[in-house]
């Protein structure tokens, strides 16, 4: 493909069929980007998009700002060679350079920390002139390096704009609505890229608030192409009717960061036709991009079949072309015999893959999210304990049975593989992992059940047999977990660099397991025994971390059970819980007891919300919110599209003078007073809520204090808030000994 042909992509008569890789989060060994080009072209792709920068990395060499370049980044010469090789296969290489949010690679560095704005998901300061100097230097190099006509500028998750804590933003944007700041930023990027003969793509996340979306759409340049995360019929029609070109990002080969082993057919690979009439809008329906966010797929090579299958569906419709799976195995694996059955097995593997989380109503926001395998995958992590449900145990066991059959059949067919055998083995490894993870719930249930039965048994021989059975199950699971983990790290070494931080999961406390060569410090269970089935949500949200924790925990559990069988212990707990190496932070629980006002009409300008007078205070009623999550969406905020607000008031008592931060999570416009004095405001507050989204310094002093919050409904978009307090004046010695006091909350 010539440069001129690549520039025709997306115009009338040219349709973009693009796969997006994510080197900013998980950079492959660079040779793989070139080695896969013939396959991508054979599958039908004419473009390769690279997300080159994100919160923690910039993976393209920048001469003007060399301090932004990350380890193992593409040198500009390496990228030129990749672009030339791709051109030889008819593939244009399109850069994605986030230009507002997802820019931690800039503002996390000490030289540029003054450009950081926003709470939670930080972004660049739109009021600081240096922001645009830095972006100009970056984009100047990117446009000179990449000949493709498109540059994707990101612009999702626009963030807290203007940032009320930023003096520049407060002065410059005091009378400027948030959408206008967004539009001005897009226009600057559009003018800069247009002057260099480049067209601009951005994500379709217009800022929302007390304005019409049509105001935003009409103010933006119409030759900006919008990348649609979801093909929602109303939104897609809205964009097209306002003159934008659209690129559909679907199938969306993601599920939940770090935890997906292979894409699930139902969740991640189901291809749907356009929701609007393609003949009516054909000049503005520019094509499709298949995003493969690499923080989702840590198992190297696992998405390849999904990538090939997506291109086939884009070309041939929702059902794809007949015999695709067999042709894939013949071409990619060089199978002359058994390709049909191997293709069927790949289809089954993806059809029965673990759904980490299930998103219901994908095209009808808000999404309903139901946990499925996320609890099984994080069962041995280092976070707070919960219980597996019987439904989750049954779900995992059913998927494990399917995966065991697929793994056995793929092994039998392996002798026919003539090329890319290492990637064939990835699917065997994936099936083995799904089986192991799927059986975790049943394993822990059975071990706990056998120990319960042993304790209740009236005959010593029967009790000993039950304990031996529990020990046997634990030993087998521990052995299988270690072998699988070792195979996973061989897979890592095939595709990733050994010093990538994702290779070493962060666990609790020091320690190294020489057998695995990674940090597998003691994971902690804060409570519970083997008589209950516990799990940990969270952990590192990473399949590698999951297996490291699994191996370490199961081996420790087996050693404890040996003591049960020999009689050294009467019954083993889940594991003797080591004390945390790091002491708990000096933080109070979330405040649960509040006095809440009735819903009041919110002013158009939330900065003008007054401190509540005696009349409003008289309407406040006592309310207790479980776990401190002040959920107002079904009560005071259930009035959309009307814009309302409420006042919430709590008391806290400092036993002695102390320096305290109020950690406030919120998802709507907010204003805060401490003992009647304003201490914080964010009139543009919006979702997500976050934990400690704002950390508000409070005046030092002992005794009882009153904190009042005004929270707006954002026309029904906000859900509520939560609050806790943190001491910031505790010495390390007092922190380790626990010899300090915290503010007291929720007193009667």
Could you read off the pLDDT of 656-683 as tens digits, one per residue?
999 999 999 998 999 999 999 999 999 9
Residue that wins the pLDDT comparison between 4 and 722: 722
pLDDT class of 508 with cuts at 50, 70, 90? very low
Say yes or no to pLDDT of 494 above 70: yes
- Residue 255 confidence (pLDDT): 45
Name the least confident of 164-178, 273-287, 380-394, 726-740.
Answer: 380-394
What is the Cα–Cα distance from 261 to 186, expressed in whole angstroms? 37
Angle at 723 between CA 718 and CA 725, to 5 degrees: 160
Residue that wins the pLDDT comparison between 383 and 619: 619
What is the Cα–Cα distance from 502 to 520, expressed in whole angstroms? 13
Residue closest to 55 by CA, chosen among 157, 151, 186, 140: 157
Spell out where 262-349 has E strands: 285-291
Say yes or no to pLDDT of 27 above 70: yes
For 667-726, the pLDDT digits (tens) are: 899 999 999 999 999 998 887 787 888 999 999 889 999 999 999 988 777 889 999 999
For 366-397, the pLDDT digits (tens) are: 333 345 565 676 666 544 334 577 888 888 89
Q: Residue 660 sits in a domain of what CATH number? A: 2.60.120
Has residue 74 been placed in a domain? yes
- Domain finish residue from 287, 318, 349: 318
For residues 398 and 464, state if they share a domain: yes
- Residue 337 confidence (pLDDT): 92
What is the Cα–Cα distance from 250 to 347, expressed in whole angstroms? 19
- Domain finish residue from 295, 318, 341: 318
Say yes or no to pLDDT of 519 above 70: no
- Residue 62 confidence (pLDDT): 97
For residues 562 and 613, state if they share a domain: no
Q: Which structural domain range is residue 690 located in?
A: 593-745
Say yes or no to pLDDT of 574 above 60: no
Helices 460-495, 440-456: crossing angle, 10 deg rounding: 160
* Sequence-distant (≥ 6) Cβ neighbours of residue 206 within 8 angstroms: 179, 182, 213, 216, 217
Bond before 251 cis per omega within 30 degrees: yes
What is the Cα–Cα distance from 52 to 98, expressed in whole angstroms? 8
What is the Cα–Cα distance from 439 to 480, expressed in whole angstroms? 12
- Residue 380 confidence (pLDDT): 64
Residue that wins the pLDDT comparison between 263 and 99: 99
Name the least confident of 136-145, 193-202, 572-581.
Answer: 572-581
For residues 552 and 654, state if they share a domain: no
For residues 397 and 543, state if they share a domain: yes
Strand partners, 358: 370
For 620-660, the pLDDT digits (tens) are: 999 999 888 899 987 888 766 678 999 999 999 999 999 99
Is there a contact between 139 and 195 (Cβ–Cβ < 8 Å)? no
Say yes or no to pLDDT of 506 above 50: no
Say yes or no to pLDDT of 109 above 80: yes
| Residue whose tokens read 């959920």 | 631
Residue that wins the pLDDT comparison between 232 and 740: 740
- Residue 582 confidence (pLDDT): 59
Say yes or no to pLDDT of 32 above 80: yes
Task: Kindly report the number of other CB atoms within 10 A of residue 195's CB atom.
Answer: 9
Task: Kindly report the number of other CB atoms within 10 A of residue 61's CB atom.
Answer: 18
Has residue 283 been placed in a domain? yes
pLDDT class of 157 with cuts at 50, 70, 90? confident
For residues 311 and 390, state if they share a domain: no
Helices 324-332, 304-316: crossing angle, 10 deg rounding: 130
pLDDT class of 565 with cuts at 50, 70, 90? confident
Say yes or no to pLDDT of 324 above 90: yes
Name the least confident of 137-151, 342-356, 524-538, 652-666.
Answer: 524-538
pLDDT class of 8 with cuts at 50, 70, 90? very low
For residues 107 and 254, state if they share a domain: yes
| Average pLDDT of the chain, as a whole number | 83
Has residue 586 been placed in a domain? no
For residues 111 and 200, state if they share a domain: yes
Mean pLDDT of 33-59: 95
Identify the helix (H) or strand (E) that includes residue 304. Answer: helix 304-316
Angle at 378 between CA 373 and CA 383, to 5 degrees: 135
- Residue 387 confidence (pLDDT): 58
Is there a contact between 332 and 43 (Cβ–Cβ < 8 Å)? no
Q: Residue 210 sits in a domain of what CATH number? A: 3.20.20.80
Name the least confident of 397-401, 437-441, 557-561.
Answer: 557-561
Say yes or no to pLDDT of 5 above 60: no
Query: How does strand 150-152 pair with strand 199-203?
Result: parallel
Query: How does strand 225-228 pair with strand 123-124?
Result: unpaired
Say yes or no to pLDDT of 47 above 50: yes
Say yes or no to pLDDT of 441 above 80: yes
- H helices present in 146-177, as ranges: 167-172
For residues 622 and 540, state if they share a domain: no
* Sequence-distant (≥ 6) Cβ neighbours of residue 373 within 8 angstroms: 259, 354, 355, 356, 392, 395, 396, 399, 437, 438
3-state secondary structure of 495: helix
What is the Cα–Cα distance from 13 to 5, expressed in whole angstroms? 12
Spell out where 52-186 has E strands: 92-96, 116-117, 123-124, 150-152
Residue closest to 107 by CA, chosen among 131, 91, 83, 73: 131
Say yes or no to pLDDT of 99 above 60: yes
Has residue 152 been placed in a domain? yes
Has residue 585 been placed in a domain? no
Has residue 477 been placed in a domain? yes
Bond before 688 cis per omega within 30 degrees: yes
What is the Cα–Cα distance from 135 to 122, expressed in whole angstroms? 16
For residues 134 and 233, state if they share a domain: yes
Residue closest to 104 by CA, chosen among 95, 94, 96, 115: 115
Say yes or no to pLDDT of 505 above 70: no
Number of independent structural domains in the chain: 3
pLDDT class of 524 with cuts at 50, 70, 90? very low
3-state secondary structure of 234: helix
Has residue 366 been placed in a domain? no
Residue closest to 96 by CA, chosen among 140, 56, 150: 150
What percent of the chain has pLDDT above 70? 83
- Residue 370 confidence (pLDDT): 47
pLDDT class of 120 with cuts at 50, 70, 90? low
Task: Kindly report the number of other CB atoms within 10 A of residue 263's CB atom.
Answer: 27
For residues 613 and 518, state if they share a domain: no
- Residue 547 confidence (pLDDT): 82
- Residue 269 confidence (pLDDT): 74
Identify the helix (H) or strand (E) that includes residue 405. Answer: helix 390-413
Has residue 203 been placed in a domain? yes
- Residue 736 confidence (pLDDT): 82
Is there a contact between 496 and 538 (Cβ–Cβ < 8 Å)? no
Structure tokens at 251: 């199938």
Q: What is the dihedral of CA 382, 384, 387, 389, to 10 degrees?
A: -80
For residues 75 and 216, state if they share a domain: yes
What is the Cα–Cα distance from 38 to 23, expressed in whole angstroms? 19
pLDDT class of 208 with cuts at 50, 70, 90? confident
Identify the helix (H) or strand (E) that includes residue 393. Answer: helix 390-413
Residue that wins the pLDDT comparison between 363 and 678: 678
For residues 560 and 597, state if they share a domain: no
Strand partners, 596: 621, 648
DSSP secondary structure letter of residue 174: T
- Residue 252 confidence (pLDDT): 57
For 544-553, the pLDDT digits (tens) are: 777 877 888 7
């Amino acid at each position: 493909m010539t440069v001129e042909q690549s520039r025709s992509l997306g115009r009338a008569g040219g349709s973009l069929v693009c796969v997006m890789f994510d080197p900013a989060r998980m950079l492959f060994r660079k040779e793989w980007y070139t080695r896969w080009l013939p396959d991508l072209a054979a599958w039908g792709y004419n473009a390769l998009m690279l997300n080159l920068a994100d919160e923690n990395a910039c993976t393209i060499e920048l001469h003007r700002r060399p301090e932004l370049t990350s380890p193992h980044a593409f040198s500009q010469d390496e990228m030129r060679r990749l672009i030339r090789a791709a051109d030889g296969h008819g593939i244009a290489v399109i850069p994605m350079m986030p230009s507002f949010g997802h820019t931690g690679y800039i503002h996390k560095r000490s030289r540029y920390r003054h450009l950081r704005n926003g709470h939670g998901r930080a972004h660049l300061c739109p009021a600081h002139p240096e922001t645009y100097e830095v972006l100009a230097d970056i984009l100047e190099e990117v446009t000179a390096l990449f000949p493709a006509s498109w540059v994707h500028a990101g612009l999702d998750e626009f963030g807290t704009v203007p940032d009320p804590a930023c003096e520049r933003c407060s002065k410059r944007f005091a009378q400027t609505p948030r959408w206008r700041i967004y539009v001005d930023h897009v226009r600057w990027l559009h003018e800069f890229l247009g002057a260099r003969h480049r067209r601009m793509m951005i994500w379709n996340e217009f800022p929302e608030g007390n304005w019409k979306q049509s105001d935003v759409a009409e103010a933006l340049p119409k030759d900006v192409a919008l990348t649609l995360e979801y093909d929602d019929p109303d939104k897609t029609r809205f964009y097209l009717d306002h003159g934008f070109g659209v690129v559909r990002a679907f199938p969306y080969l993601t599920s939940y960061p770090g935890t997906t082993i292979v894409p699930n057919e139902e969740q991640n690979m189901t291809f749907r036709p356009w929701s609007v009439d393609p003949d009516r809008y054909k000049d503005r329906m520019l094509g499709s991009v298949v995003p493969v966010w690499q923080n989702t797929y840590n198992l190297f090579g696992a998405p390849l079949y999904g990538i090939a299958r997506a291109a086939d569906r884009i070309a041939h419709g929702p059902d794809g072309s007949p015999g695709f799976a067999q042709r894939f195995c013949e071409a990619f694996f060089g199978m002359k015999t058994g390709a049909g059955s191997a293709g069927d097995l790949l289809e089954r593997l993806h059809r029965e893959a673990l759904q980490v989380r299930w998103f219901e109503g994908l095209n009808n926001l808000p999404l309903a999210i139901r946990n499925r395998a996320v609890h099984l995958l994080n069962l041995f992590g280092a976070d707070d304990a919960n219980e597996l449900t019987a439904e989750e145990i049954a779900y995992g066991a059913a998927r494990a049975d399917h995966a065991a059959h697929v793994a056995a059949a793929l092994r039998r067919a392996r002798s026919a593989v003539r090329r890319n055998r290492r990637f064939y083995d990835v699917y065997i490894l994936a099936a083995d992992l799904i089986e192991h993870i799927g059986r975790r719930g049943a394993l822990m249930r059975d071990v706990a059940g056998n120990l319960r039965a042993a304790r209740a048994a009236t005959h010593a021989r029967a009790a000993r047999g039950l304990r031996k059975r529990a020990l046997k199950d634990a030993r087998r699971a521990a052995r299988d977990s270690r072998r699988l983990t070792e195979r996973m790290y061989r897979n890592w070494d095939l595709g990733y660099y050994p010093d990538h931080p994702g290779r070493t999961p962060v666990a609790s406390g020091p320690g190294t397991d020489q057998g695995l060569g990674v940090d597998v410090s003691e994971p902690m269970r804060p409570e519970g025994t083997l008589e209950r089935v516990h799990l940990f949500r969270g952990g590192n949200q990473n399949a590698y971390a999951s297996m490291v924790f699994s191996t370490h925990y199961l081996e420790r559990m087996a050693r404890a059970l040996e003591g049960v069988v020999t009689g050294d212990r009467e019954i083993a707990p889940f594991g003797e819980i080591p004390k945390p190496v790091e002491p708990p932070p000096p933080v109070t629980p979330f405040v649960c007891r509040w006095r809440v006002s009735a819903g009041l009409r919110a002013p158009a300008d939330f900065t003008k919300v007054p401190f509540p007078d005696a009349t409003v205070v008289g309407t406040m009623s006592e309310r207790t919110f479980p776990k401190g999550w002040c959920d107002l969406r079904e009560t005071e905020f259930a009035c959309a599209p009307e814009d309302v607000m409420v006042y919430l008031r709590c008391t806290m008592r400092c036993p002695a003078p102390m320096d305290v931060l109020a950690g406030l999570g919120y998802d709507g416009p907010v204003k805060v007073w401490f003992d009647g004095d304003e201490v914080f405001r964010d009139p543009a507050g919006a979702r997500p809520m976050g934990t400690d989204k704002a950390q508000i310094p409070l005046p030092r002093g002992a005794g009882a204090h009153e904190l009042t919050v005004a929270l707006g409904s954002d026309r029904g978009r906000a859900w509520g808030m939560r609050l806790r307090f943190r001491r910031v004046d505790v010495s390390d010695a007092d922190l380790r000994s626990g010899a300090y006091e915290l503010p007291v909350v929720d007193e009667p």
